[in-house]
Chain A
Amino acid sequence: MSIEIRQLSKVYNPESDFPVHAVKALDLSIKQGEFVAVMGPSGSGKTTLLNMIGGIDSPTSGAVCIDDNDICLLDDKALIAFRRDHVGFIFQDYSLLPVLTALENVEFVMQLQGHSEQVCRQRATELLNQVGLTDQLHKVPAKLSGGQQQRVAVARALAPRPRFVMADEPTANLDAKSTSELLDIMQQLNEKEGTTFIFSTHDQRVIKRAKRVIVFDDGQLVEDKQQ
């Protein structure tokens, strides 16, 4: 599943005297299985770009084509189905549902796809084992450390077998050890399952591990390099 971005622009408050051009006429192509870091200073448009690729935000103009289908043309219901089936999200603050256990958080997104309880349980357990949380399955997020919560978030993002994972500054709240462990896990999953990972980050530890680094500034692509 490849991502083709064509002349993508996003302007906030376009009618006002001071419109904000978050993304400016961006052309970009990301292939299946890439491990991409989008870096740039705060306010450079990284998160906006990820949101538009993930179908969370809509562009002012341009297209985001997933296997030649422009997701910008989808209605709300179709977009939800697209996100549910094809995109995994990892947020900076983990964003786990606080009342569900680690296992239930991972199961929840699979249940949205209509999988049976048994299938959900099996895959969720498997993923949480892979991210090293075998002993923490039945703990609620509040009982887990930040690193553990982010691992649950990774497992949750991967549970529905998405084609790509959007990770918005996933290591911003983690210490060096947790960051390293998390990146190991994501790299393994990227290599093993062929899932595309797209990070927005300014964490050099993440940038060093990325196979491709896209530098973004003022809504424009400044540099695109393979590592």
Chain B
Amino acid sequence: MLVKLAWRNLWRQKRRTLLTSLSLALALFLSLFMRSMQEGSYQYNIDNSARFSTGLIQLQHPEFAQSQSIEDLLPQTEHFISLASALPHVSYRLPRIESFALASAGERSKGVMVIGVLPEREEQYSGIASKLVAGEFIATNDKSVLVGEGLAQALSLGVGDEIVLYGQGYRGQTAAGLYRIKGILHFPLAGLDKQLVYMPLSLAQTLYSTGEQVTTWVLHSDELSLIPAIKAELQTLYGAEVNVRDWQQLAPEMAQQITMDKAGGVFMMYLLYGIVGFALFATILMMTLERQREFGVMLATGLLRRKLLLLIAIESSFISVLGVIIGLAVSLPVIGYFYYHPIQLTGDTARMMLEMGWEPIMPMLISVRLVAEQVFIVLTLMSVCLLYPLWRAYHLTLVAALKGDNNGH
């Protein structure tokens, strides 16, 4: 009976109930849309950035993070990587040599970062060949390299020209080699574009005399949310012999940028809910204040106070649930549409994002967690808004309420 009573009470003031539910629905829609876009962008950009640079997880020698030295290596063997391979959510395992060298051509020279990769697997992972602006992509047995467009310009090089790399190899050996440029890559991040040299892994191992060793094993997972768990599991499996680092440690600037951006979004979301919260509070309070006499009659005829509170709570829940249903009914199709048709950014915004190394699109994330988060916020908001009206109803003085005294206290 209480549920029936609550449901019918809602429709005594149809317009008020609908307006309150719609304001909740609007807040939920805007928040969910904004958060889905934020999280979608983060996920996309993290994945994108990871594929073109650090990967989501790296296995490194415990000293490598600090030293960045070619002396701190890991084995490039199936036996070594088999522990990571056994984990179900690890989708890529890419051995890399990452070190520094001095590049020179003619009269010019520049410090560069040399990355030795398995070209076919790296292409499969990152589609890096799509960044080629000139020449061809390298093959496993090539003795040639790819360079960033910025670097090529700095050294006045083109496809077919030769570049000298000079540095320190494993165990103090000299690393020196002359390589033909097979292709030129363009990276959105200027820093990378001006210093990257890509070469086949075997060629890098020869250059640095590392033998069958690598500086890093890059690992990937298609499920970004599982990264912390995978990282922890890998650390347990490999122990102290290996340092497992995730994308947040590998790209701290990006992690920080995302954290700040997310904080801004969350602040806006709570601001929005705060405004809507006042509307909800006013409605619930009105629903209780204008019915003091009715509550008095119910108490006089034997309704327990806790059941009266329950009645008010059910009525408020109906409004909130209605708001959630309308909000989700509008949000999900819209988010679904933009999930498949992400917003393409243009102009200065696009340029700015490209400079940050991010693709100029606003992809959406469809996530049960985000939906649950919004529903939880709405229900929490309702609970908070209920506190004072419930307190008033609980402390209702029967005689005053029956006299129709609005205060009822």
Contacts and interface: CB of A to CB of B under 8 A. Distances in A.
Interface of A: 51, 54, 56-57, 76-77, 80-81, 83-85, 89, 91, 95, 97-100, 104, 107-109, 111-113, 156, 160
A57 B293 contact: no
Contact of A111 (B1, B11, B305, B399): B1
Contacts of A95: 293-294, 297
B398 A56 contact: yes
A84 B302 contact: yes
Nearest to A85: B302
B5 A112 contact: no
Main secondary structure of the interface of B (DSSP, over half): helix
Given A95-B293, A97-B294, A100-B8, A84 B402 contact: no
Nearest to A56: B398
B12 interface: yes
Interface of B: 1, 4-5, 8-9, 11-12, 293-294, 297-305, 398-399, 402
A170 to B, nearest CB: 14
A2 B294 CA distance: 29
A83 B301 contact: yes
A57 B301 contact: no
Contacts of A54: 300
Contact of B398 (A57, A81, A98): A57
B8 A77 contact: no
7 contacts: A56-B398, A57-B399, A77-B304, A83-B302, A89-B300, A99-B11, A108-B5
A93 to B, nearest CB: 8
Contacts of A84: 301-302
Given A80-B302, A95-B293, A104-B1, 13 more contacts: A57-B398, A80-B299, A80-B303, A80-B304, A84-B301, A95-B297, A97-B5, A97-B298, A99-B11, A99-B12, A100-B5, A111-B1, A112-B301
B395 to A, nearest CB: 11
B374 to A, nearest CB: 31
A89 B293 CA distance: 14
Given A91-B297, A95-B293, A111-B1, A56 B302 contact: no
B391 to A, nearest CB: 15
B143 to A, nearest CB: 86
Nearest to B10: A99
Task: Name the residue among A99, A107, A112, A160 with the largest chain B CB count within 10 angstroms.
Answer: A99
Interface of A is mostly: helix
A74 B9 CA distance: 32
Residue among A95, A100, A107 having the largest count of chain B Cβ atoms under 10 Å: A95
B256 to A, nearest CB: 55
Contacts of B298: 97
A160 B399 contact: no
Contacts of A85: 302
A123 B168 CA distance: 99
B399 A51 contact: yes
A70 to B, nearest CB: 18
B226 to A, nearest CB: 50
A156 B300 CA distance: 12
A56 to B, nearest CB: 5
Given A56-B398, A56-B399, A97-B294, A109 B301 contact: yes
Q: Which of A85, A107, A108, A113 has the most CB of B within 10 A?
A: A108
* CB-CB nearest 6 A-B residue pairs: A84-B302, A99-B8, A95-B297, A112-B302, A57-B399, A109-B301
A108 B299 CA distance: 12
Given A80-B305, A107-B1, A56 B300 contact: yes
A152 to B, nearest CB: 13
B302 A160 contact: yes
A99 B301 contact: no
Given A51-B399, A97-B294, A107-B1, A81 B9 contact: no
Nearest to A160: B302
A56 B297 CA distance: 10
Nearest to B302: A84
A83 B5 contact: no
Contacts of A111: 1
A100 B4 CA distance: 9
Contacts of B1: 104, 107-108, 111
A112 B305 CA distance: 12
A140 to B, nearest CB: 9
Contact of B301 (A76, A77, A89, A98): A89
B194 to A, nearest CB: 73
Nearest to A168: B402
A206 B5 CA distance: 34
Contacts of B9: 99
Contacts of B8: 99-100
A154 to B, nearest CB: 13
A100 B297 CA distance: 14
Contacts of B399: 51, 56-57
